[in-house]
Amino acid sequence: MTSPLLQIFARADLSFEKGEGAWLVTSDGERYLDFGAGIAVNALGHAHPHLVEALTTQAGKLWHTSNLFHIPEGERLAQRLVDASFADVVFFSNSGAEANEAAIKIARRYHFSNGHPDRYRIITFEGAFHGRTLATLAAGGQAKYLEGFGPKVEGFDQVPLGDMAALKAAIGPDTAALMIEPIQGEGGVREVPNAYLQELRALCDQHGILLIFDEIQTGIGRTGKLFAYENTGVTPDILAAAKGIGGGFPMGACLATSRAAKGMTYGSHGTTFGGNPLAMAVGNAVLDVVLAPGFLEDVERKGLLLKQRLASLIDRHPTMIAEIRGHGLMMGIKTRVPNTDFVTAARDQKIIVIGAGDNVVRLLPPLIVSDAEIAEAVDRLDATCAALESEQAAKAAPGAAL
């Protein structure tokens, strides 16, 4: 099929007309259980009545004013994020990469304002994904994404995840910040041990380095806390959020302590669209639900339920599944077949799951998923394994299949 779209996505031959909660529906009425949620974006599922109401009400009033004026809904959303986190100040962007760009700029500017303009290097970790802008690509450090785009943006050093000696060796007088995902998402739902994060915090304090958490995937309730750092015993200085923060409306946020953000002054950063009234209305509506009493506790409980059910799949299909990993409603299945085959076979069973690095299949259901839908998902993944097993058996013994 020829398409006027820039051909950068290998899309499945499937499209949807509408969504309801944890379900996606095609134009001919076929229903898929959505355990991808738009890559952790549709945090409250599809067509959540409270979000639809907030969006349509605001759409009839005011969409955009520019940041030349106060935006009360944005002040309110920022205050709620501040009250619910370590942060003192918030910058709103339109995407994850932009939230990370803000984080990088805030960290560099902190040292600049302290009289150390040469202190601008950021240390990141192998397997990271921080976005597709030139700076966040350099931060992610993945050769396949950097290839052909000219010189890599200067000032990023990468060390193997978990290698404390390599990290200590990489820290120099020009190190401004460490930047890490508490659970690597695209990298394969790789959880960073709390002890390692605590060591990072101590190293940062010792050397006057800022700690940046990229919580674009882990944030906004995904792990059963508003932000995943709350599970770790570590508090960052700067945090990037996006994906679930708008429940499907494009937006991001960079949170920081006032100390870390002290270098940012009038004019030192900006955005045309970021923090517009429409986005802010939806962001507030997402928090109405996520911060309601009991909601996050229920996400935690459902995460455990999902993990237990998935663990039983290893026993039933040891030749298909090697490992279950993750936290809350951010789960990874390390498969023994190519994860792309698994994702396709799962789609045949009418469940959407998402590939990741390290041959992992990610499960990122909407946070409103029900216990019954979790059970249904695991049944469909069980059927996926069974279908792949009979395919393998038929390949191994072609005669027997005839």
**Residue 232 Cβ, how far from ligand PLP at the closest point, in Å?**
15
Q: CB under 6 A: which stretch of 210-218, 325-333, 336-344, 345-353 binds ligand PLP?
A: 210-218
Residue nearest ligand PLP, Cβ-based: 96
Examine residue 279 and tell whether it contacts ligand PLP (CB under 6 A): no
The string of DSSP letters for 165-212 reads: HHHHHH--TTEEEEEE-SEETTTTSEEPPHHHHHHHHHHHHHHT-EEE
Of 158 and 384, nearer to ligand PLP (C-beta) is: 158
Taking CB under 6 A as the criterion, which residues in 182-201 touch ligand PLP?
Answer: 185-186
Examine residue 327 and tell whether it contacts ligand PLP (CB under 6 A): no
CB atoms within 10 A of CB 341: 15
- 151, amino acid identity: P
**Residue 276 Cβ, how far from ligand PLP at the closest point, in Å?**
16
Examine residue 181 and tell whether it contacts ligand PLP (CB under 6 A): yes
- 352, amino acid identity: I
Of 19 and 140, nearer to ligand PLP (C-beta) is: 140
Contact 349, 388 (CB under 8 A): no
Whether the CA torsion 186, 191, 195, 198 is positive or negative: it is: positive
**Residue 128 Cβ, how far from ligand PLP at the closest point, in Å?**
8
**Residue 379 Cβ, how far from ligand PLP at the closest point, in Å?**
28
Taking CB under 6 A as the criterion, which residues in 38-97 touch ligand PLP?
Answer: 95-97
Examine residue 242 and tell whether it contacts ligand PLP (CB under 6 A): yes
Examine residue 373 and tell whether it contacts ligand PLP (CB under 6 A): no
Q: CB under 6 A: which stretch of 49-57, 79-87, 214-222, 387-395 binds ligand PLP?
A: 214-222
Of 74 and 185, nearer to ligand PLP (C-beta) is: 185
Examine residue 246 and tell whether it contacts ligand PLP (CB under 6 A): no
Q: CB under 6 A: which stretch of 115-123, 157-165, 200-208, 213-221 binds ligand PLP?
A: 213-221
Of 162 and 250, nearer to ligand PLP (C-beta) is: 250
CA 260 from centre of chain: 23
Residues 6+ apart with CB under 8 A from 132: 97, 145
Examine residue 356 and tell whether it contacts ligand PLP (CB under 6 A): no
Laid out side by side, the sheet with 23-25 consists of 18-20, 23-25, 31-34, 351-352
Q: CB under 6 A: which stretch of 179-187, 275-283, 355-363, 385-393 binds ligand PLP?
A: 179-187
For residues 189 and 330, give the distance between their C-alpha atoms in angstroms, rounded to a whole number.
7
Would you give the DSSP letter of residue 265? -
Alpha-carbon torsion angle 228, 230, 231, 232, nearest 10: 100
Contact 18, 12 (CB under 8 A): no
Of 275 and 388, nearer to ligand PLP (C-beta) is: 275
Of 40 and 368, nearer to ligand PLP (C-beta) is: 40
CB atoms within 10 A of CB 340: 13
Examine residue 216 and tell whether it contacts ligand PLP (CB under 6 A): yes
Contact 230, 205 (CB under 8 A): no
End-to-end Cα, the chain, rounded Å? 35
Of 96 and 221, nearer to ligand PLP (C-beta) is: 96
Q: Which of 34, 214, 237, 373 binds ligand PLP (CB under 6 A)?
A: 214
Note the helical H segments in 18-133: 37-40, 49-59, 72-83, 96-113
Site string for ligand PLP, 121-160 (x = CB under 6 A): --------xxx-----------------------------
Examine residue 217 and tell whether it contacts ligand PLP (CB under 6 A): yes
Would you give the DSSP letter of residue 335? E
Burial class (CB in 10 A: 0-12, 13-18, 19+), 111: buried
Backbone angles phi, psi at 382, to 5 degrees: -60, -45
Interface residues with ligand PLP (CB under 6 A) are 95-97, 100, 129-131, 181, 185-186, 214, 216-217, 242-243
